[in-house]
Chain A
Amino acid sequence: MKKLNFRTETQAGRSGRRLALVRPGWRIPLALGGAALALSACNVTDFGMHTGATTQGHDIFSLYQTFIYMVIVVAVVTFGGLLYVLVRFGRRKGDQVPRQRHSNVKIEILYTVIPALIVGAIFYMSVGTENKVDAISPNPNLNLTITAFQWGWRFTYPNGVSIVSQGENYPQMVLPEGETTKVKLVSKDVVHGFYVAAFDFSRYALPGFTNYFDLTPNKLGTFVGRCSQLCGLYHAEMLFSVRVVTPAQFNAWLSSQGKGATA
């Protein structure tokens, strides 16, 4: 995946009537560049999904990979069978009446039991992954409170450092790599969705109900985060970025923020 300088691409804020999310010069090669990226950006076996920049996200990604392998097998059987039928039985002539078969109990039982076994397997795998993804560490390395509001985010760190959306600037959430951050997610007004595509993870920020979840980043870099649940007029502009740094860098950053201006 390409790294991106997130802030420079988003120039106008909501003070102007709309976002200018693309530099004018970028527009012409868009289609071509997009096509190239669509082909080159990811591994084929990623099947289009982010590999998950957290351990939780990576578990979800692995589950997705397994699903796709299963889908390929089932699709080959189903669509292959359909294609066979269309080719094999599409060439009969005229009004010839075929054998009037009504049912075949053995085959019907077969196509009931096999799908049941498949969804049983999917259920088993889902519950396993779900337990890992939803597990909350009793002693996290960092406690972070994320507050969603119309239309921005506030990230509050334990020492009182608070990063918040201000006008045209999207806030940046900084996380230490390899350490577990326990997130407390709340909303001040309507339902929002905390969503980081690179983490393969989203969770609603609900008014009146607090959600907790763990994030354990395992890749350095800067990622786009956004609101995924429609929350009103500027829903599309409710962006933030996530910067994953080494624990040492994180500590340095956190103490420097503590000394400087906090929002």
Chain B
Amino acid sequence: MSLNVKKSRYDLFWKSTYFVIIGVGILLLWYATKEVEYVWRWYRVPQYFIADVEVNVRAEIEGEVARIERSGETVRITVEGRSGEKETYPAPAGEVRVYEGDFIFPGDILAVYEETRPGILLQGLWLTLKVSFIAIAFGILIGLLGGLARVSRNPCLRWLSITYIEFIRGSPLLVQIYLWYFVFGTIINNLLAEMGFSPISSLWYGVASLAIFAGAYVAEIVRAGIQSIHRGQTEAARSLGMNYIQSMTHVILPQAMRRILPPLAGQFISLIKDSSLLGIIAIRELTKATREVVTTSLQPYELWFVCAVLYLILTFSLSMFVQYLERRTLI
């Protein structure tokens, strides 16, 4: 009993110490930035998430403004051309820049309104999410096939899988991205051009490099998961007359899945973070978007912190999701 009381007193002490350390850390950073005369301007950050953009409604023909009808939130501006043809331009009620009877030329501004659009950071976040999601989906597929080939008795499949895994794990992701974009990308796009197809965008080479990179690690995780299942399980399944595929899908993989999930989560968290490298091949994901915003806004401190926190939100959500899956597969 007395032991417990003692323990909880120290407990409180260490918990307070934790918060003191964090608080002092933040204070020190703040003072340090004061010293270098950095002015924090957090209010400038939101505009990169959601921005109000001016949109101009322009005339496409030459003629006279025949009618301006307002109905509630919208305006309809009708322009009548020389030869009597009519064009109607709908716009949200903003500033109408013309009057009935005005003579206008193509390209003249008829009305101006403000539209709320996602800012660069939000676009970058979305792209990171999209790239990661597609790469994870393909990474799972490649990793599953690679892992199965890795434990296969067929030497061709097994060696192919080993070659793939060793090659991918043996070189830096950055180099692989360059290879995909500048070497394979150029070759493939040239071939496509010769055959009269349009080129594949750099986004897909980025996705390919990430998926194939992650696939190699997933293959090893899958292999370890399958091999961790006792041999007796395969024997029981096979002795009942199940073939290889049936025993894999009904007996081995469902059990392996439970052990595969935690390391798989770690792998995909890495993948999300690694997607930040794709900026180098002109994919404007979150990191590249942040870099661009930093050069225009000159508020690097706030923006890099925001960038880090956004990654944290993505990776944390993923790990929460996987924990939920783990609980569901538990019996």
A binds B: no
Q: Which residues of A contact B (CB under 8 A)?
A: none
